[in-house]
Amino acid sequence: MKFRPIFICFLFGMATHITLAQMDASVLKDVEAIEGDVIDWRHHFHENPELSNREFKTAETIAAHLKSLGLDVQTGVAKTGVVALLKGNQPGKVVALRADIDALPVTERNDLPFKSEVTTTFLGQETGVMHACGHDTHTAILMGVASVLSKHKDKIKGTVKFIFQPAEEGPPPGEEGGAKLMIKEGVLTKPDVDAIFGLHINSGTPVGTIKYKPGGTMAAVERFVVNVQGKQTHGSAPWAGVDPIYISAKIIDGFQSIISRESPLVEEAAVITVGKITSGVRFNIIPESAEMIGTVRTLNPQMRDMIIKRMTEMARDIAKAYGGTATVEWQNNTVVTYNDPELTTQMLPSLESVAGKNNVVLTKASTGGEDFSYFQEEVPGFYFFLGGMTPGNTEAFPHHTPDFKIDDNGMLLGVKAMTQLTLDYLNAQ
């Protein structure tokens, strides 16, 4: 076994002494041997996606695999989640590894041989179901990590808790779910978790590259619903009523001025997006009401509070100016994904040891959101981004789109990274 030089972190007056090893040869052999299985699992999940809080078959497949490894497996956590414990041969800390398992209401549009043909009804609309964010890769990677680590309990000082989390994309309206519900049900206790690691594959980052950021790395996410009330009338006589669709357009335009004219964007980014408008039943009727649903993304708590306040005021006042009324309902979906600075610095050499120092890149914060952030509110956590784009590719389709693709070759590094992080953290002195 070859050892790297001792790495010492002095941050905020605290010192962490950790000896980091290059990946043990026997561990590396098992990691490389599992790659084919990881790809096969990923293809299976991709072809058979399930929406949030409905990941029944996905959970069955995960649980069966973990049980086959001899792990202590718990199912039905936060509705469809799966949690498993692996105890090393020596006592020590507890580290949690998390993968999200849900898919999205997106109709897949590509020529993959394992393309999803699954359809469902979501919020009253017929839609396809697709792993359009890469959660299928996260699940397969963590199953691979479990396979590898279960063969090397002699190298583990402490306990590994594998968390396969449902509903990262948010539970259906009226339901609980996701990381919040897992925490509520005690996933970070019995035994108490000391630190948690997670990753997200990225379609725009080349295979072989890892990106990270200490501190705030992904945004707090709010879901909002604006209900606009007007007065119904014939489409030929708009003066006889109050048009909620017209008011909605003015409100949307006003919301964007909050970002462009009121938000100090030199401090942090912020985004307001209206993603859905519902109103009316016929071309020649001005309807009684309209509903808009959207999201706000912020990286600064003060900006978050200001934007919520101003949107609520603006919707009300604009509607009033045009003879209608408007109210805004708010739901918090995630807080800021915050990478503990000390833990991030401590574990950075682990990523460099498996990816190469030049392939581990400091990145900027993203306005995407992650409910991994709720775990990080409870225990120190480190969340990083894994390259999933074919090197040399000039076109990368965004996440949450019908053309989203991930290169299978990116997943081996994910298994290596999560395995090395686990062993280095638990074996730290």
DSSP for 23-83, written as a single string: PPHHHHHHHHHHHHHHHHHHHHHHHS---TT--HHHHHHHHHHHHHTT-EEEEEETTTEEE
Place of tokens 């808790």: 161
Place of tokens 């969340």: 383
For the chain, the helix, strand and coil percentages under 3-state DSSP, each to the nearest 5 = 35, 35, 35
- What residue type is 101 in one-letter code? I
Radius of gyration of the chain (CA): 24
Q: At what angle do helices 56-68 and 135-150 cross, to 10 degrees?
A: 20
Which are the contacts of 239, defined by CB distance < 8 A and separation ≥ 6?
A: none
What does the alpha-carbon distance between residue 294 and residue 272 come to, in Å, rounded to a whole number? 8
Contact 179, 370 (CB under 8 A): no
What does the alpha-carbon distance between residue 305 and residue 366 come to, in Å, rounded to a whole number? 19
Bridge partners (DSSP) of residue 17 are 8
Q: What are phi and psi of 12, to 5 degrees?
A: 55, 35
Query: Residue 6 class from Cβ within 10 Å (0-12 exposed, 13-18 middle, 19+ buried)?
Result: exposed
Bridge partners (DSSP) of residue 222 are 296, 332
Bridge partners (DSSP) of residue 104 are 130
Residue 345 CA: distances (Å) to CA of 220, 351, 373 = 23, 11, 18
SS3 258: helix
Residues annotated catalytic, as ranges = 102, 168
Q: What are phi and psi of 165, to 5 degrees?
A: -100, 130
Burial 140-159 (b: 16+ CB within 10 A, else e): bbbbbbbbbbbebeebbbbb
